[in-house]
């Protein structure tokens, strides 16, 4: 088969962003060529080849906790830089497909000239902009921001030849907003087996400790990794830990990540007198994340309930399920679209007391933890990354007309 040349653009770091890395390496593994244009962190090379993917980094970084106007200005400046570099590289050796990752959606217009010259365009909606912007906004301006975000999303989707999204709730949303069904492809954020090899799976530490009578001295580790923003509900998790330790004093919460909410979370842990039982660590390279997951007993996803979190299928849920760690999560439509009730412990997103009850139950019920991990793995297995990667490679060939076949998105077995 002829090689498909792919140009990818992301307002993020590479290979730090796991989604962009999975997608890009899937194409390379299929024999295609990929160049990623992205941001540059201090100490990173301007260009390099990473696992077969050529990375072109622009002299720009991103911050956390910026105001919306400053964030939009950063997006626009990156759009100008990336558009120039993408066009120049396209004129030198043309791309067949240009794959643009949101946020923002309008970043897809960096591909204007390549599109006019025949390149096919993918817009990858990892997060729906209108819902995310409203979740970040405050006060009466939320309604205006929502309308503006819907407008730019509609224009961006119309500009793209294909819209990739990451779950069935997102697909339903885009369909309601007028994106044709034939234009949408679902690629779930499944765990990459390169980073989470099945042979690395081992019983959870507390389960191992129980087998040798060490539970009195072994912490029961509840873990979270990812962005530390108000919408992610880590304050609920810390409050729940403080409540739950009265009945399960072996509980410990390990949080790996960064974001604007970190100072508040540290202060809250101190005020609740659980600082010694909440461990904060910085993000790590993707290759090391498996070690963090394997060191814990239970994964937690305490997202707040809003229009955005109701739709989000977190990558960490797949990673916990694949590495066979039980999950406690907010009861959202998205989570229910993937997992059965037997597979996951669902809690009220706004109730630390409910999460505390869940923490105590799982800390004290070993057999339930074992059953949950088995059920969650069954739910996840049909949507493993190998299937998603093959679907993406088919999409590239269909768009570029290089031995392509019709692309069918994975079917949901959800009853929601």
HEC-encoded secondary structure of the chain: CCCCEEEEECCCCCCCCHHHHHHHHHHHHCCCEEEEEEECCCCCCCEEEECCEEEEEECCCCCCCCCHHHHHHHHHHHHHHHHHHHHHHHHHCCCCEEEEECCCHHHHHHHHHHHHCCCEEEEEECCCHHHHHHHHCCCCHHHHHHHHHHHHHHHHHHHCCEEEECCHHHHHHHHHCCCCHHHEEECCCCCCCCCCCHHHCCCCHHHHHHHCCCHHHCCEEEEEECCCCHHHCHHHHHHHHHHHCCCCCCEEEEEECCCCCHHHHHHHHHHCCCHHHEEEECCCCHHHHHHHHHCCCEEEECCCCCCCHHHCCCHHHHHHHHCCCCEEEECCHHHHHHCCHHHCEEECCCCHHHHHHHHHHHHHCHHHHHHHHHHHHHHHHHHCHHHHHHHHHHHHHHHHCCCCCCCCCCCCCCCC
Mean pLDDT of 388-400: 96
The half-sphere exposure of 352 on its side-chain side, counting CA atoms within 13 A, is 14
The pLDDT of 164-184, averaged and rounded, is 93
Q: Which CATH architecture has domain 198-381?
A: 3-Layer(aba) Sandwich (3.40)
With cut-offs at 50, 70 and 90, classify the pLDDT of residue 402.
Answer: confident
Please write the tens of the pLDDT for every residue from 209-233: 654 444 556 899 999 999 898 989 9
Taking 70 as the threshold, does the pLDDT of residue 301 lie above it? Answer: yes
Query: What confidence score (pLDDT) does residue 217 get?
Result: 66
* Stronger pLDDT, 407 or 72, i.e. the higher one: 72
What pLDDT was estimated at residue 69? 82
Instruction: Identify the pLDDT of residue 168.
Output: 87
Virtual torsion, Cα 348, 350, 356, 362, nearest 10 deg: 30
Q: What is the pLDDT of residue 211?
A: 47
Nearest to 170 by CA among 145, 158, 155, 153: 153
Residue span(s) of the chain under CATH 3.40.50.2000 come to 5-189+384-400, 198-381
Query: Which has more confidence, 306 or 223?
Result: 223
Show the tokens assigned to 178: 């007028």
pTM of the model: 0.83
Provide the percentage of residues in the chain whose pLDDT is more than 90: 73
- The superfamily (CATH) of domain 5-189+384-400 is Glycogen Phosphorylase B; (3.40.50.2000)
Computed over every residue of the chain, the mean pLDDT equals 90
- Residue 213 has what pLDDT? 44
Residue 291 has pLDDT above 50, yes or no: yes
Instruction: Write down how long the chain is.
Output: 416
Confidence band (pLDDT; 50, 70, 90) for 285?
confident
């Amino acid at each position: 088969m002829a090689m498909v040349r792919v140009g990818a653009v992301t307002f993020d770091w590479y290979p730090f962003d796991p989604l962009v890395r999975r997608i890009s390496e899937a194409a390379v593994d299929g024999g295609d060529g990929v160049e990623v244009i992205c941001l540059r962190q201090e100490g990173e090379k301007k260009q390099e080849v990473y696992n077969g993917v050529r990375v072109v980094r622009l002299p720009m970084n991103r911050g956390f906790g910026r105001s919306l106007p400053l964030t939009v200005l950063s997006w626009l400046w990156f759009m100008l830089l990336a558009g120039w570099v993408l066009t120049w590289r396209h004129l030198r050796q043309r791309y067949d497909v240009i794959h643009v990752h949101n946020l923002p959606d309008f970043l897809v217009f960096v591909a204007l000239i390549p599109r006019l010259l025949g390149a096919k365009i993918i817009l990858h909606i990892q997060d729906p902009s209108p819902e995310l912007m409203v979740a970040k906004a405050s006060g009466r301006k939320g309604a205006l921001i929502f309308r503006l975000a819907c407008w730019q999303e509609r224009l961006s989707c119309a500009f793209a030849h294909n819209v990739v999204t990451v779950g069935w709730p997102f697909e339903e949303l885009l369909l309601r907003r007028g994106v044709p069904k034939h234009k949408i492809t679902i690629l779930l954020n499944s765990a990459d087996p390169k980073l989470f090899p099945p042979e690395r799976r081992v019983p959870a530490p507390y389960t191992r400790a129980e087998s040798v009578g060490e539970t009195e001295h072994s912490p029961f580790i509840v873990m979270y990794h990812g962005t530390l923003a108000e919408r992610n509900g880590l304050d609920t998790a810390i409050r729940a830990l403080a409540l739950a330790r009265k009945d399960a004093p072996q509980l410990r919460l390990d949080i790996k990540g960064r974001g604007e909410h970190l100072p508040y979370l540290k202060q809250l842990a101190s005020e609740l007198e659980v600082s010694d039982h909440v461990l904060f660590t910085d993000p790590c390279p993707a290759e090391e994340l498996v070690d963090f997951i394997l060191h814990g007993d239970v994964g937690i996803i305490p997202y707040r309930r809003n229009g955005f979190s109701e739709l989000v299928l977190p990558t960490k849920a797949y990673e916990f399920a694949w590495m066979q760690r039980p999950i406690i999560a907010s009861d959202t439509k998205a989570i229910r679209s993937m997992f059965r009730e037997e597979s996951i412990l669902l809690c009220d997103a706004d109730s630390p007391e409910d999460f505390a009850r869940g923490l105590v139950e799982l800390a004290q019920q070993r057999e339930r933890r074992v059953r949950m991990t088995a059920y969650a793995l069954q739910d996840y297995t049909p949507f493993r990354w190998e299937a998603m990667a093959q679907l993406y490679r088919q999409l590239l060939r269909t768009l570029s007309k290089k031995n392509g076949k019709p692309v069918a998105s994975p079917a949901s077995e959800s009853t929601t």
